[in-house]
Amino acid sequence: MKTVTIRVEKMNDFKADVMSAFRAAADGAKGTEEDVISFPDWQLLHKTLSPNRMAILMAMTGSGEMTIREIAALVGRDVKGVHTDVTALLASDMLERGERGTVFPYDAIHFDFTIGKAA
């Protein structure tokens, strides 16, 4: 099962994670089946993954390539609104373009973040 982990993490933590992955790869370590998408703060995560966009991702999870019309039917929304949200998800690299439609290449979504008191 291919899982994507969505995180909120500061840029320094993100850089440390990337450097750790590079070092592990250089040492011959095998990668995991888990990809990570990081956001610098909760506000950007929430803006990018609005409730309507999360509904699209959840509907597409494990479903393979889909057209805009198929996605719209699954989430019970109009094609124009879904097209707008799919375009935004493509721009943020949450979705990928396929040969005949759009792909969310994951079977599961895992969220990993902690929200504390604002500074």
Residue 62 tokens, joined: 């494990």
What is the share, in percent, of the chain residues with pLDDT greater than 90?
59
Any bridge partners for residue 36, and if so which? 5
Determine the Cα angle at 102 with ends 62 and 52, to 5°: 75
- Mean pLDDT for the chain? 84
What is the per-residue pLDDT for 31? 55
Whether residue 42 is contained in a domain is answered as yes
Query: Residue 20 sits in which domain range?
Result: 3-112
Cα 55-59-65 angle, rounded to 5 deg: 130
In a domain, 61, yes or no: yes
* pLDDT 10s digits, 75-107: 999 999 999 999 999 998 899 999 999 999 999
List pLDDT tens digits, range 16-28: 555 555 555 566 6
Spatial distance between the Cα atoms of 20 and 77, rounded to a whole number of angstroms: 42
pLDDT of residue 119: 59
- CA pair distance 97, 86, nearest whole angstrom: 10
pTM above 0.95, yes or no: no
> pLDDT by residue (tens digit) across 105-119?
999 999 987 777 765
In a domain, 63, yes or no: yes
Nearest CA-CA partner of 89 in 99, 77, 103: 103
Position 75 in a domain: yes
Number of domains making up the chain: 1
CB-based contacts of 55, cutoff 8 Å, min separation 6: 75
Listed residue (2, 1, 4, 3) closest to 93, CA to CA: 4
Residue 117 lies in a domain: no
In a domain? residue 119? no
Q: What are phi and psi of 31, to 5 degrees?
A: -70, 165
